[in-house]
Amino acid sequence: MTEAPTWTAAARALADKVTANAPGWHEAVSNTPRHKLVPRWWQRIPNSPAQQWELVNPPEDSAELLHAAYADETLVTRVGPTHADHAAPGEHGKGDPTSSSTLPGLIVSMAHRLDVQPGQRVLDVGTGSGYSAALFARRFGDDKVTSVDVDPYLVEAARKRLAAFGRTPRLEAIDATGDLPESEYDRIMATVSVRPVPPTWLRALRPGGRVVTTIAHTALLITADMGTDGIARGTVQPDPATFMEARREADYPGKLDDVFVTARVREGEDVRPPEGAIPDLWQEWPLRWLFELDTPGVETRAATYPDDGRRVVWLLAADGSWARAEDGTSPLLHQGGPRRLWDDLERVRRTWEEHNRFSLHSMRAELSPQGSYLLSPDDSWRFSI
């Protein structure tokens, strides 16, 4: 009797965990060798300056590799412009993640929401390691799956690794926010975040088709179904999902460090007490995401003064606008540049309170090539996405 490969028990245990609410995906997860797709990865160095990462390169088929690959965790495969495949032993990566193998539970949850039916054509946006393409191809057939990524190396590596265990979906290296490889799809799932929702996706989505995607710089997961009128209608889902933004270059644009130099301690052009309490935008995430929807592209930073425990929040924009809010016994707000960013944040908070602080997953989505929007439950507050 032939002994089963050592990875199959680990894959089956992962499937038992992540497909409890999506049993149709159990067979695909159980039979997809994720460790073949992610043989090495980056791991953040705790308390390191400037977001440094160390390479994890375990021996092939080792217990360490199998434990990591079949845990329900994201494995970061690319940091800045450097893929883990290209890093030398002992090399450190630096910067933000630019590609990863998303935690399997989230992939399964999104794929379950996508509700693919036999015979339908699937577009998988964001090939990454190739894991989601592998699951779709295993369950619905290689010829029904197209997967795209902006990075030619990711696509080629995924193609070779998928083929090594018999999976041959169509893979293309393209900017997925532009023209697509084919003109019609029944289902589109993106494991990169976007804003705007690309018109090419909506033109390629057949009537009755479904798109599942997230909005850039938020964790808002949208599911929408295409109508016969060319508008996909849906809702924000109750479970958030965070993905890297779709990129067009090898790395993302740099942080707004030059604006931060100004904002860090400089006296503002407009100085006043803030309106209400200074929010913790990392805990009050609905407010943070509404602010992002309303005033996109604002970088947020925060710190706590070690001497007295005062908290400070900065808002930074590429046009040189900035705000600094400090709490304490006498909270104070400084603003500078062409826009008043904190005024915008306070306006968003007031409007949300006037709308009874509605749950974000009660928002509706209307997506079309001519323009896409999220709408408040009463339709009176609209955000272009």
Residue entry with tokens 């995401």: 289
| Predicted model pTM | 0.95
Q: How far apart are the first and last CA of the chain?
A: 57
H or E element: which one contains 292?
Answer: helix 285-294
Give residue 254's pLDDT.
Answer: 85
Q: β-strands 122-125, 185-194: how paired? A: parallel
Q: What domains does the chain contain, in order, with CATH numbers?
A: 257-354 (3.30.160)
Give residue 259's pLDDT.
Answer: 97
Q: What is the largest CA-CA distance in the chain?
A: 79
Give residue 50's pLDDT.
Answer: 67
pLDDT in tens, the chain (385 residues): 444 568 999 999 999 999 999 999 999 999 999 999 999 999 999 887 768 999 999 999 999 999 999 999 999 999 999 999 999 998 999 989 999 999 999 999 999 999 999 999 999 999 999 999 999 999 999 999 999 999 999 999 999 999 999 999 999 999 999 999 999 999 999 999 999 999 999 999 999 999 999 999 999 999 999 999 999 999 999 999 999 999 887 778 888 999 999 999 899 999 999 999 999 998 999 999 999 999 999 999 999 887 777 899 999 999 999 999 999 889 999 999 999 999 999 999 999 999 999 999 999 999 999 999 999 999 999 999 9
Query: Within 13 Å of residue 290, how many CA atoms lie on the same side as its CB?
Result: 26
User: Can 99 be counted among the known catalytic residues?
Assistant: yes
Q: Are 24 and 112 in contact (CB under 8 A)?
A: yes
Structure tokens at 319: 């046009």
Active-site hit among 99, 109, 147, 321 = 99
Output phi, psi for 100, to 5 deg: -160, 170
Q: β-strands 75-79, 52-56: how paired? A: unpaired
Structure tokens at 116: 């693919």
For residue 314, list its beta bridge partners: 301, 324
3-state secondary structure of 329: coil
Give the residue from 91, 144, 101, 109 showing the smallest Cα distance to 126: 101
DSSP 139: H
Q: What count of other Cβ atoms lies within 10 Å of the Cβ of residue 300?
A: 17
